[in-house]
Every structure is written in C-alpha cells, then in structure tokens.
Structure 1
Amino acid sequence: MTFQGMKKVYLDPLQWEATADVVLEAPDTDQTFTVPPYWIDSIGHLSGFVLNAHLSDHNPKTVYVSHGWESLRFAKTLLPGKTYRTYVRMMESPGGILVAGDVYCFEGTSIIAVFRGVTFMHIPRAVLDQILPRSKPATSRSASIPEERATERRKAGPTVISGLKIGQRNIDEP
C-alpha cells in the first residue's frame, strides 16, 4: 500500500526526521504537465507526514498544516514508476508557531530535487475538527495508550501505519 507515493518510511519522530522511498504514479494520457502536481505532492509529502505521525512525545492534540515553501527546483526530469528517495528534517522556528525544513529528493546518490523552506504551522486539533468535522467520533490514539505502552512502542522494531512499513535504521549504516 502507498500513501502519496511513499512505499517505505524510516522515521525518527523525536527529531522530526525521516526518509522515504517514493514511487510516482503514471499520469493520465490526456494530461500535459511539465511536472504533475501530484508528483510534487508525493516528493514533498514526507515533511507533513513526519510532523503529523504522532509516534513521539510531541503533542497529539496539535496538527500541522502546510504554510507553503520558499522554492522548488528540479535538476532532472522525474519519471513515473521509478523509485526515488526523499529526506527531511523539520525544526521549530524561533517563536515556536512554525516548523520548517528542506526536503531532498535523491535518485541513487544524486540530489535531483529540493524543496527549500517547507513550512508548517501548528494548530490545535480542535480547531481543525471544527473546520473539517470528523464523520464519527474518534479518540486520540496516543491519549488512550498508557505511558508505559507508548515507551514500549518507541523502543519496538518496525511498525506499520496505514499500510506503510515504518522501521528503525541502524545508526552505523551509511
């Protein structure tokens, strides 16, 4: 299963850092984009995923909403069906309202695309629920898990979220 083209995600939720294998879907034959917008979304989506996954001690009552990006550059033409690797590390900006980072897209060992200054604003989940009400009541998964279970989950091996394989990377790997 894929989510926004992401096949596999390696996530460090405490540092808001992640890398993902992304496969771009083929565009419809009647579309004439230079770069299809859903490919742009697939390449940059890891930035929001790492913030909203809530596998860490970050506040699950907060959601992160895209605030835009400064620039997007491609050094090479993207191809459908090809696997790319994306990387991001998000950091809080001074003032604590915004979180920002750069998303890199690799083909092998070469950087072929960069989103500079990807920014998200954090807002209370209650505000988002008023704007986009949920269809049925749901409780926060993180709030319902005792602290000892949350600690076990962080120490555990690979986890599956929405069909994505989330694993821990050996720090000694290149």
Structure 2
Amino acid sequence: MRPTINPVLAALARARMQAAPMFAKWCELHGLSPCPAAPAHVARFVVDCAPLGIERLWLAVQDISRLHVSAGLADPTLGGAAAAAISNLAGIDPPRSWPNDRKQRFKSLPYDLQVYVAAHEAQREKALRRAQNEAATARHKLAAYQKNETRTNEESKSNENDTHPNA
C-alpha cells in the first residue's frame, strides 16, 4: 500500500521548490533535501555552481536563506563551510587596515557585508591618500615660502649694511 501524502505538506514542498528553484534543482540532482539543508550541502552547491558567477549565485544563496528562515529553521548559509565557499568564490580581500587576527574573521562575513566593507575601506583609503597628497603639497609650498622669505630677509639685511657703513 502506498502512503498518502498530506496535501498541505505537498503544497509546502512545492512552495519551497519555488522559493529557491536553483538550489532545489541542484538538491534533486544530488538526492538531497533542499529544506532543511546542511551548511556543507550549501557549500558544495556554491562550489559546484561557481561558474555562474558570484552575483547570480549570491541571489540563490539568499533564496536558500529566506527559505529556511521563513520555515523557522536555522540559516545554513551563515558562517562555517557555506560562508567560506562564498568568500572563496567572491575573492574579496580583507581591508589592509584590519589587524591580521581579524582578517580571517572578514572571510566569515556574508558576501554583501564583505562588498560593503571593502568598498567603504577603498573609499577611506582614497580620501586618506588625497589628504596626504594635499598635506605634502602644503608642506612644499610652506618650505618654498620660508626659503624665499629667508632669502628676502638676508637680502634686506645686506642692503641695510651697504647703506649704513659703520664708522
């Protein structure tokens, strides 16, 4: 006798398939359940689908996250193997200003935060370089002014000595 499938559960399964279609198809091909999914399965999905590119794959990862959170389950895309796989695919380097012990922590951040932090850091470094260049230009102008002022003072003193001979 064939077991009857609860129509509510069947509808829920179809809805989940629609919520994360790329991951659901991948899971179907590999004989895995899309929900709940293990972080290792999400990591394997990211590695297997890497040729799609990070932008397209990140959308699929967000679908997986929403699917699990909406079902009241733990998000398998946060941290661990899944975050490492996404970070490796994205290839975003940690900010140079971060201490070495925190650079590894950067790799565990979600991709969208890595993008934000890296862009913010690049903007900060650009502003810092601009300020340093402006300061260097001001120092050169000041040095030239002081040199010119010293020369002018020396010339005026020598002119005073020439016009007022000591008797």
Q: TM-score range by the shorter chain?
A: under 0.3
The higher relative CO (CA closer than 8 Å, separation ≥ 6) is in 1
Q: TM-score, normalised by structure 1?
A: 0.23
Q: TM-score, normalised by structure 2?
A: 0.24
Q: Which structure's residues are more often strand, by fraction?
A: 1
